[in-house]
Amino acid sequence: MFDFIISVVTIGGIYAIMTLGLNIQAGYSGLLNFGHIAFAGVGAYAVGITHLQGWPIALGLPIGVAAGVLLGWFVARLGKRLAADYWAIATLAVAEILRMIAVNEDWLTGGANGITMIPGLFETLARPWNAVAFMALIVGVVLLVAFFSARLGNGRFGRALRLMREQPALATCLGYNLQSLRTRAVMSSAAVTALAGGLYAHYFNYAGTEFMLAAETFVLWTMLMIGGIGRTAGVLLGVVLVQAVYAAVPFVKDMLNFSSDMAGALRMGMIGLILLVCLMWRREGLLPEKLREPA
């Protein structure tokens, strides 16, 4: 059980980092990124490819973050003239194209098999401690990212983003360069998310294409919306809840003695139901964004 909890916390932490990243775009800047998982995918594949090519594995994470930021720059450029909904689909398109490249170009990415045997971190430590150390690392990163992202949101940059989110024409007229705001927001968010993706690859010793499916982005969105978009505490709460539900489903199934031919239906149904109940009950998320009081 102990091991399982550690792994649930670690995975939750990785998702938390990605969701905090998404929050910088979606929450603060109102940018609907439906291809967000692509940043994580780039991070994961960077680590994987570093391993495949036999480069020092320590280079994986930095390369991943750099590649993520670059992709972020590109995606933000794409949005120069696009309205929110349209940009959302454009990002989805980019993510899908990247995924297809990952599936098809097996000389680089291992093809549909993905890249296996990626070395983990802390593997020199003894059995439970390597997992504990990894969890500690992830929790540390989550706290750091949460702290900085809250700062970003409450500070002057975040305020500019929020004005852009709600009234772009007003923001322009006040002298903000929307394109630059958007680019910087997406790039910061990409950096964080690519880092999480790289850590994912190390943790699971694996980078593959299923991880880059659009459904994964929707998981991130779910976490974001349940907790409360735009608010760091809300985001974290959302991640904890969704991750708890995901982790609990197999146990609930065992507990209620559901026959295993219903296991799949039950898993989907329960997650859908809980999500729906949450949304209906607290429509703005559990911790809705508040008006910020300038200190």
Partner 1 sequence: MSTNAILEVKNLAKAFAANKVLHHVNFEVKQGEIVGLLGPNGSGKSTLLNIISGFVGPDAGEIRLVGRSIAGMPTYRLVQEGMARTFQLPIMPQKMSVLEVAMAAATDAHGVFSTLFRTARDRAAERRALERARHLLDELLLTRVAHLPASAISGGQKKLLGIVCALMAEPRLLMLDEPTAGVHPNVRNDIVQALHRLNASGVTLVIVEHDMHFIRDACSRCIVLDQGEIVASCRPDELASNARVVQAYLGASVEVAKA
Partner 2 sequence: QEAIRIGAVLPLTGPSATIGEDMRRGLQLGVERVNANGGVMGKQLALIVEDSANNPTTALTAARKLATVDKVPVVLGEFSSSITLPVAQYLVKEGVVHMNIGSSSTKVRDLGDSAFNLIGLEDAGNRFAAQDVYAMGLRNVAVITPNNAYGQGVSHGFKEEFEKLGGKVAGQILYTGGQSSYRRELQQLARAKPDAYLYSSYGHEAAIINREAKELGLRSQPWYAYIMSMSVSDTPADIAEGQVGMELGASKGELGQAYAQAYNTAFKEGFASVFNGYAYDGVVLIGAAMNQAAGSSAADVQKGLKAVSEQGFTGVTGPIHFDAKGQRTDPPYDKLKLENGKLIPR
Partner 3 sequence: MLQFFIDTLMRTSDLALVALGLSMLYGLVKFPNIAHVQYAMVGAFLAYWLYGLGLPLALALVVGAGLTGLITLLVQLLVFDRLLQSGPSIAMIGSLAVSMLLVAIVLGVAGSFPHMFVLPNMEPVLIGDARLSRAQLWMVLTTAVLLVVFLVLLFYTQAGRAMRALASNRALADASGLNASRITNVVTLLSGALAGLGGGMLAISGGAHVNLGHDMLLPVFAAAILGGLGNPIGAVAGAFLIALAETTVTNINFGPMLGESLVFLPASYIGAAAFLILLLALLFKPYGLFDKEVRRV
Interface positions with partner 3 (CB under 8 A): 26, 32, 78, 81-83, 85-86, 88-90, 92-94, 96-97, 100-101, 103-104, 169, 173, 214, 218, 221-222, 225-226, 229, 261-262, 264-273, 275-276, 279-280, 283-285
Tokens coding 132: 């504990």
Q: Angle at the Cα of 249 (from 246 to 255), degrees rounded to 5?
A: 155
Residue 230, binding choice from partner 1, partner 2, partner 3, none, Cβ under 5 to 8 Å by partner class: partner 1
The DSSP secondary-structure symbol of 248 reads: H
227 CB neighbour count, 10 Å cutoff? 27
Taking alpha carbons only, the member of 161, 178, 216, 182 closest to residue 39 is 216
Residues in contact with partner 2 by CB under 8 A are 1-4, 7-8, 11, 103-104, 106, 111-114, 116-117, 204-206, 208-211, 213, 215-216, 246-247, 250-251, 254, 260-261, 263-265, 267-268
Residues 6+ apart with CB under 8 A from 251: none
Smallest gap from residue 230 Cβ to partner 1 (A): 7
Based on CB atoms, which residue is closest to partner 1, 113 or 167? 167
Tokens coding 40: 């994580």
Based on CB atoms, which residue is closest to partner 2, 155 or 264? 264
**Distance (Å, rounded) from C-alpha 103 to C-alpha 52?**
16
Tokens coding 32: 């609907």
Q: Which stretch binds partner 1 (CB under 8 A): 54-62, 158-166, 195-203, 255-263?
A: 158-166
What Å distances lie between residue 159 and 29, 162, 181, CA to CA?
9, 5, 11
Residue 78, binding choice from partner 2, partner 3, partner 1, none, Cβ under 5 to 8 Å by partner class: partner 3
**Distance (Å, rounded) from C-alpha 83 to C-alpha 91?**
12
Smallest gap from residue 97 Cβ to partner 3 (A): 5
Smallest gap from residue 208 Cβ to partner 2 (A): 5
Smallest gap from residue 84 Cβ to partner 2 (A): 28
Residue 289, binding choice from partner 1, partner 3, partner 2, none, Cβ under 5 to 8 Å by partner class: partner 1
Q: Quick check: 51 binds partner 1 (CB under 8 A)?
A: no
Q: How large is the angle between the packed helices 232-255 and 127-154, nearest 10 degrees? A: 140
292 CB neighbour count, 10 Å cutoff? 14
Q: Quick check: 289 binds partner 1 (CB under 8 A)?
A: yes
Q: φ and ψ at 163, to 5 degrees?
A: -65, -40
Residue type at 202? H
Residue 32, binding choice from partner 2, partner 1, partner 3, none, Cβ under 5 to 8 Å by partner class: partner 3
Smallest gap from residue 140 Cβ to partner 1 (A): 17
Residues 6+ apart with CB under 8 A from 97: none
Give contact residues for partner 1 (rule: CB under 8 A): 148, 151-152, 155-160, 162-163, 165-167, 169-178, 184, 188, 230, 289, 291-295
